[in-house]
Structure 1
Amino acid sequence: MLHTHPADSVIVLDFETTGLSPNQGDRAIEIGAVKLQGGEVVDRFQRLMNPGFRVSSFIEGYTGITNAMLVDAEPCAVVMDAFADFIQGSNLVAHNASFDQRFLDAELAAVGRDYTGEFACSLLVSRRLTQEVSSHKLGDLVRYHHIENDGVFHRALADAEVTASLWLVHLQKLATEHGIQNPDFALMKKIAKTPKAKVAVMLASINK
């Protein structure tokens, strides 16, 4: 069962998209993912994909992904079929995971593919484990935790890389501040769903 898999062996992913909602016809234009095993990066996946229509000038400016870059990119179906292979058998992590999960589900449904893993949200975990931080946007957390980065945000692989680093920071905090070594994925999902005021008590009960 993937639920009991270790939390440090996951695939951290990030989509860049044409907009906010696959239900309104928005598509993925880039996928970036980092595969962690035992807390180490063992593989990466990064592809641009052509959504079949021009992206807005806002999205070009926001992501740095231009229509010229997408002209020669493979269509979503080809890229997402390959990505489905990449994620099989792994649990998944994303920052604001509900967004990425919507696009993953929609794009995989379009090519008749599925996945076995579960999603955890590094944003929700961050809100529970670093409650003193005022903003849990990825860039702000990178600065707060002094996470190494190349200064690029809103490109899929760069965002997946720093989200993976952030995820490992959370696992380290569980070890150093709560005495929880090698948490499983189910615990991370539980942390994300626990009300902020009750997180400390919940974590304290684990080691009793």
Structure 2
Amino acid sequence: MSHADTVIVLDFETTGLSPQQGDRAIEIGAVKLENGIITDRFQQLMNPGFRVTSFIEQYTGISNEMLSQAPSCKTVMADFSDFIGNSSLVAHNASFDQRFLIAELNRLHRPFNTSFACSMLIARRVFPEAANHQLGTLVAHTNIEHDGVFHRALADAEMTAQLWLKLLQKLQQQWPALTVSFELMQQLQQQPKGALDRFIKRQLAT
């Protein structure tokens, strides 16, 4: 059983939505949490080998000129694979980031054998009263301080890490006897909405 407050929180910026359609990562940002404290960071632009659209340039603030001077995806992702090791991973809308992480690691013939949890799915269960569960909305809902930068990888990873700690804090405050492991968070994200109380009571009874 692993501690939920010792994880790596990551975020990709990409050329589009689907690695299966040829889209690539153009930036990775990640923070390492150990016992709820940020102890390390990883941030790097990466050159996908082709020009990105003007929409992506405007959406992310990452220009083709910036990418032309960046190291290749291959170089960056090899370094990032070493950075994450076998840590538990967290991302907001994790299925998106997981798809790109696996696709980029497959290109390097590096195995993917770590576990992911999704702060967005968990927030839907823990903060059902939020207007929606986009990262920016949840940052405002939980009063996380930020500098107004969204859609850059390290800034989003930092905010997601703070949100993750807010989720753990809320669960611990509401159920002080609960052991909040990473595995419990993974199970929680799969519960039907509105079933949080029932799920937690079942955990406490075992």
Residue of structure 2 aligned with 1:105, choices 102, 126, 130 = 102
The CA RMSD measured in Å over matched residues stands at 1.0
Q: Give me the whole-angstrom Cα distance separating, in 2, the residues matched to 1:157 and 1:77.
A: 19
Find the counterpart in structure 2 of residue 79 from structure 1.
76
2:170 matched to 1:173?
yes
Offset at residue 180 of structure 1 (A)? 4.6
Gaps of 5+ in 1: none
TM-score by length of 1: 0.96
TM-score (normalizing by structure 2): 0.97
1:96 equivalenced with 2:93 (yes/no): yes
Does the 8 A contact of 1:90 with 1:116 survive in 2?
no
Hey, what's the Cα distance between the residues in 2 that align with 1:151 and 1:50?
Answer: 26
How much has 1:116 moved relative to structure 2? 2.9
Gaps in structure 2 of 5+ consecutive residues? none
Question: Match for 1:115: what amino acid?
Answer: F
Report if the CA contact (8 A) 2:46-2:67 is conserved: yes
For the 8 Å contact 1:5–1:184, the answer to whether it is kept is yes
In the other structure, the counterpart of 2:40 is 43
Partner of 2:137: 140
Give the Cα–Cα distance (whole angstroms) in 2 for the partners of residues 180 and 90 of structure 1.
Answer: 26
Amino acid at match of 1:124: L
Question: Are 1:67 and 2:59 counterparts?
Answer: no
1:19 maps onto 2:13 in alignment: no
Which string of whole-angstrom CA distances, capped at 9 and with x for unpartnered residues, describes residues 46-86 of structure 1?
Answer: 00000000000000000000001001100000000000000
Query: How many corresponding residue pairs?
Result: 205
Give the match's secondary structure for 1:99.
helix
- Seen in structure 2, the aligned counterparts of structure 1 residues 180 and 109 have a Cα distance that, compared at 3 Å, is farther
CA distance change for structure 1 residues 166 and 180 in 2, over 3 Å: closer, same or farther?
A: farther
Q: 1:195 aligns with which of 192, 197, 205?
A: 192
1:164 alignment partner, one of 161, 165, 187: 161
